[in-house]
């Protein structure tokens, strides 16, 4: 699954880097996408991270909200094309 990320210019609170890796469960076509990120510096205005992903087969958007101290999340993958 391709992941395209555009990082903003250098500014307090902006992303410094983002990585995403698919981790397959043993002997299955399912797994999870592990997403990790860092910010350029702490910013008090960040109250929550919203991670949104699109499930193409069902045409649905999914969203999870994370506390500002979290710098990673796991997105479940229940089947692959």
Q: Is the pLDDT of residue 3 over 60?
A: no
User: How sure is the predictor about 69, in pLDDT bands with cuts at 50, 70 and 90?
Assistant: confident
Name the token pair of 31.
């797994």
Q: Which residues of 19-55 are buried (b: 16+ CB within 10 A; e: fewer)?
A: eeeeeeeeeeeebbbebebebbeeeeeeeebebebee
Mean pLDDT computed over every residue of the chain: 79
DSSP 25: P
Helix, strand, or coil (residue 30): coil
Provide the pLDDT for residue 16: 79
What does residue 52 show for φ and ψ, rounded to 5 degrees? -125, 130
């Amino acid at each position: 699954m391709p992941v395209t990320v555009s990082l903003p210019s250098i500014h307090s609170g902006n992303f410094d880097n983002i990585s995403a890796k698919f981790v397959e469960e043993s002997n299955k076509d399912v797994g999870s996408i592990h997403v990790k990120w860092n910010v350029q510096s702490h910013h008090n205005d960040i109250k929550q991270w919203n991670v949104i992903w699109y499930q193409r087969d069902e045409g649905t958007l999914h969203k999870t909200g994370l506390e500002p101290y979290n710098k990673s999340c796991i997105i479940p993958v229940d089947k692959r094309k």
